[in-house]
Amino acid sequence: MEKRKLGPSKIEVTPLIFGAWAIGGWKWGGTNKKEAIRAIHRAIDMGVNSIDTAPAYGFGLSEEIIGEALKGKRDRINIFDKCGLRWDVQKGEYFYGAKDFEGRPFKMYRYSGKEGIVEECERSLKRLKTDYIDLYQIHWPDSTTPIEESMEAMIKLKKDGKIREIGVSNYSLEQFKEAISFAPVVSNQLPFSMVDRHIEEDIIPYCMENGYAILAYSPLQRGLLTGKVTPDYKFKDDDHRKDNPFFTIENRKKVLKLIEKIKPIADSHGVTVAQLVINWTVNHPGITAALIGTRNVKQAEENFSSLNFKLSEDEINEINKWVNQTVLEVSY
């Protein structure tokens, strides 16, 4: 698998990154630890060199699984982790209320105070069983903490050798510009897919012009672009997609029409629609790499073979024609 430069850093990343939210189990109906470890190993064998996680993915469980999976393999993979999304302290900006694995209610906060970031990093290092994190990202902007303060913590961690590079996630262009004015930030992790392209308006052009990396998450729009989410599909109560605005009945119908139009291109290459969507995403101008959520070996083998074919210019233009005509009813 090819490698791309992670913005102005020395890190080289494969265009496909193992997304480790789902293996944390929370909001995904639980997890199978052994199968998750096998999936990570299969991805590495297929050439994937980076994995993305966060403490909030299963309250540390995703990190613990990764730590176990990477025994003897740490030198083969970059660990991208995050901080600033807290369930264990009531500080910062209230994010949302939810329930834990046992159904107990709690409140999630965005908190990027300096001492909080340093504390989180130490905990993550222990769960990951490693001495350093390759890319450490602030998960969400925190309106109660000055960006300068957050960046001071990230710079300290970098100087101390706890992290190699600094990144952010879900930052607007204005917030991103402020962050890079205080610290050597190299990337912004943002949602991007065929049906969620709002970052094309400002962030993608800015990052392309100035050499910063964009890590795209939810390239399959959390499964919506696989074609498996039909209008009559019923989500379980603990499925986070149940109340997501992208998954309204009307939006599902629109996406199925899009899939109907692009499926012949997938068929001509002998691949699935999901593989076609992933291929299109990582070859979209300005996208450095995409996080591909993976829970088992079967998904790993399908997901990480999505670059084993090349789309022609005519095929890309055909896909873009139908993508441009698909406008979902969502608000940002």
pLDDT at 332: 55
Number of separate domains in the chain: 1
Any domain includes 244: no
Any domain includes 134: yes
CA 291 from chain center: how many Å?
4
Pairwise CA distance, residues 202 & 222, whole Å: 23
Beta partners for 106? 98
pLDDT at 235: 79
* pLDDT, averaged in runs of 10, over the chain (332 residues): 96 98 88 96 98 97 98 96 96 94 93 97 98 98 98 98 98 98 98 96 98 97 90 77 87 95 98 97 98 96 97 97 92 62
Any domain includes 234: no
57 is catalytic: yes
Cα dihedral: 187, 188, 189, 194 (round 10): -110
Any domain includes 13: yes
Any domain includes 300: yes
pLDDT at 79: 98
What is the residue range of 33's domain?
A: 4-227+270-311
> What CATH number does the domain containing 28 carry?
3.20.20.100
Any domain includes 324: no
Any domain includes 327: no
Q: What is the pTM of this model?
A: 0.95
Angle 164-166-168 from CA coordinates, rounded to 5°: 150
Q: Let me know: does 110 contact 95? Beta carbons within 8 Å.
A: yes
pLDDT at 213: 98
Any domain includes 320: no
pLDDT at 232: 85
Which position among 57, 111, 171, 212 bears the catalytic label?
A: 57
